[in-house]
Structure 1
């Protein structure tokens, strides 16, 4: 049966969100099933496109526009996807951690994958929508959202019968950077491979195999975000081995599948955009 495993939560990244704006504000939570809140303005003077990459997460994205505000619940993409490319619009977002216990009424997690659903069709809370979309105060928007959400979160944690198994599977995958095999999860938990696949797909909206692939990609993003371009060539082979790719070519192929670019070109783009200077942690 399941043994103890230290919790290790991945911090999901959307680097192209950051590179489309001069200032990307981020409030890290890492609690209540939330990774972080963020806000930015998509500026027309920056020509880069607003692209989402796979992260295994669900976001709620509010476009706070005076004339035409809207909000969408956005599931993870499985390939680089152009999204919400509205110039000079202010956005406020909530990024939930992979496998967040927050569920949406009448929508399964698998239905959210590569899909966006209008917020008010699912969460019929016009007051919350209006308070958030009529404001440009990041701290106020966070406060308003958390006041409503934390009560829901407490109830969800109480009723989720898969909570312990789900937590164990997620922690096992994140601690191994997605390298763990499904039969290893089955053996460690005492459940069958079929049951693991069925439960995981229900809770995460993805098969464990696909989810592991996305988490490995997210770990690779984290490494590349800290790696200097001049160090890349000498480190690619070691990185690919540590992350469990067959070889360096396999890693580059997977990275290209999820970003439409290579690790080398990605690091070049980070440097040109002065990526770290754009992120403001509050």
Structure 2
């Protein structure tokens, strides 16, 4: 990560990133699959009019489509919280230099723990409502992106662009806000993207074992709550709809993450991020 200037041939970083994303077949297919899931959720009222009788495959799928918006928004809210925590955590550690290595070590230690159990504990011990559960999901998904954010930010602060800006008299805060963050926006997005599928997977698992948030009357169902209801009193077909849509969505988000990793490498040469959001390479 030396120049932080697109592909090195005068192409702006965002345009180079888009070229890199389009070059990733998995990313393009994942984006199409996610769009299909969202369109299915929008078309649910039309599809429900022709659904078979209760208990059929069609009814299970339509019920799961009705939960698309609630599930994706819950996962997205938790992912945004995780991304903010990761940016503050990993970025702060990078800015602190050697003094921030304890924060990096802590992130690595927490990332190695079975943090998906944290939402289960919150749901089982605290009788968690939706807001508290979303916060716990976000915190549980934050350590791994924090490690990736630290790697990206630390490399950017060591780049030729950062050295030139410091030589020109920019303060560390101005350097970060005016040069570093805009230049590495795509790698940071790739680093934090994995929090979304992690949060969705944890919510689905918590609902499956009946340790998800307490859903009040009138609140929209999520795929996790539908899986829990199916296990509690439904049949095998009731698991099909939410399980299938959750699996497709997790695959789509993971594939988009792979595409974002290609986009990050194209926008900022020298940065390589896996689809899971971990930094690789120097």
**If each structure's strand is expressed as a fraction of its own residues, which one has the higher value?**
1
Structure with the larger helix share: 2
TM-score, normalized by length of structure 1? Answer: 0.25
Q: Which has the higher contact order (CA 8 A, sep 6+)?
A: 2
**Which is greater in Rg?**
2
